[in-house]
Amino acid sequence: MFQISDIDHLLPFILKPDNIARFEIVGNSPHVVIGDRSKYPLEKSFVHCESVEAVAVAIEQMVTQGAGPWQAAVCALALAGHETVSMDREAALSHLRAAQARLVATRPTNTAMARRLEMAMEAAVLALNEQRPVDKAIIDWLAETRRNIYADYAKRGRLGANLIEDGDGVLTMCFAETSFILAVAMAQEDGKQIHVYTPETRPFLQGAKLTAPSVHELGVPVTLIGDNMASSLMAQNKIQKYFTAADLITVDGHVVNKVGTFQHAIAARYHNIPYYAFAWGLDPNRPDRASIEIEMRDPNEMKQFKGHPTTHPDIEALYPAFDITPPELVTGIVTKNGVFQPDEFGASYQ
């Protein structure tokens, strides 16, 4: 059976589960340790929280992002569970429900946060009913959930690594997280020489802050470029494959991902470079392009860099968070079940 320890050596610092968030009891003092992504890559540091409220505030202050917030929240629920040890059942339930409500409120529009916490609560209630330790039940649930998630990452990473050939220049966009990083790490482990090119990804610079240091940590050559430079490298035959994550893939194969993904896909097609997207699953409520609404983020983000203005304050700006790449530009969608044509994607999970 797959264990996360099987792939631990292929994971850079910020993708190791214990560095995302963990529940610890040191002496008699329980606390939640959260990897501080806001300081990465200049610092590899952690935020130590001794209460549910402290974890909630850390999540609200964007100490962690991506898959981090729900894992930190589940660790905070374990902390609340630890505090129920001398309570009666009713008081314990009430204490846990209060913690759950506070944690869900940190990300009111993120359904993954609410869903994961509800599942962790089910494990907690079962432990209460059976008079087992509640904190351990929640942490065991987290470990098993993580094991399943990383098993899927490993399957997609293996499929991605098989698509990469020796000598390839690999373009990505934003931070394609564990599936992509594992694909790169496994391709290297297979003995393939590769070179990763990562656009910085304005305005939040996930490419510069997260992707480039993660790939560098694996010992794979990586070059940071501007969001305006990939086509120039393609014309010089420096890029042979293009891989991204996907925030969502519609049932009919439209890839919704960080803005800029689309223009690289157009340029890749122009240069006959295949484009592959990693899928985390299938959402039957998103059948097609018309079912997607692109989130428009605060335009002020485009007028500054970490608080330093880039233009005159009167200038208007626009920040669409995502764009949509149509299936005709997508060579393949990498799922845990295989690599599928976009028009096969809807059926691939059946």
Does position 300 bind its own copies by CB under 8 A? no
Given 45, 61, 94, 232, the residue binding its own copies (CB under 8 A):
232
Residue among 227, 247, 252, 323 flagged as catalytic: 247
At 336, list the tokens.
């845990």
Residue 226 has phi, psi (to 5 degrees) of -80, 165
* Closest distance of CB 216 from its own copies, Å: 6
260 touches its own copies by CB under 8 A: yes
Q: State yes or no: residue 253 binds its own copies (CB under 8 A).
A: no
290 vs 132: CA distance, rounded Å? 48
Choice between 322 and 340, CB closer to its own copies: 322
Q: Which residues are CB-neighbours of 192 under 8 A, at least 6 positions away? A: 161, 164, 165, 166, 167, 168
Is residue 40 within 8 A of residue 213, CB to CB? The reply is yes
Rule CB under 8 A: choose which of 93, 125, 251, 266 binds its own copies.
266
Q: Is 310 in the site for its own copies (CB under 8 A)?
A: yes
Residue 266 phi, psi dihedral angles, 5° rounding:
-65, -45
Nearest distance from C-beta of residue 235 to its own copies, angstroms = 7
Under the criterion CB under 8 A, does residue 202 sit at the interface with its own copies?
yes
3-state secondary structure 193-244: CCEEEEECCCCCCHHHHHHHHHHHHCCCCEEEECCCCHHHHHHCCCCCEEEE
Whichever of 208 and 277 has its CB closer to its own copies, that residue is 208
Query: How deeply is 316 buried, as exposed, middle or buried, from its count of CB atoms within 10 A (0-12, 13-18, 19+)?
Result: exposed
Say how many Å lie between the first and final Cα of the chain, rounded: 23
Q: Is 287 in the site for its own copies (CB under 8 A)?
A: no
Residue 13 contacts its own copies per CB under 8 A? no
Closest contact distance (angstroms) between CB of 54 and its own copies is 28
Which of 262, 276, 340, 345 forms a contact with its own copies (CB under 8 A)? 262
Is 140 assigned a catalytic role? no
Q: Which position among 90, 109, 131, 306 is part of the footprint of its own copies (CB under 8 A)? A: 306
- Are 70 and 146 in contact by the 8 Å Cβ rule? The answer is no
Q: Does 290 bind its own copies (CB under 8 A)?
A: no
> Closest by alpha carbon to 109, among 291, 269, 295?
295
Note whether 200 binds its own copies by CB under 8 A: yes
Near its own copies in 22-51, by CB under 8 A: 41-42
Judged by CB under 8 A, the residue of 189, 311, 338, 343 near its own copies is 311
- Read out DSSP for 5-20? GGTGGGS-GGGSHHHH
Of the listed pieces 49-57, 84-92, 132-140, 219-227, which binds its own copies according to CB under 8 A? 219-227
- DSSP 8-state symbol, 51: S
Considering only CA atoms, which of 302, 322, 318 is closest in space to residue 310?
A: 302
Residues that bind its own copies (CB under 8 A): 41-42, 173, 199-203, 205, 208-209, 212-213, 216, 221-233, 235, 258-260, 262-264, 266-267, 269-270, 294, 302-303, 305-306, 308-312, 314-320, 323-324
Task: Give catalytic residues, as residue numbers.
Answer: 247
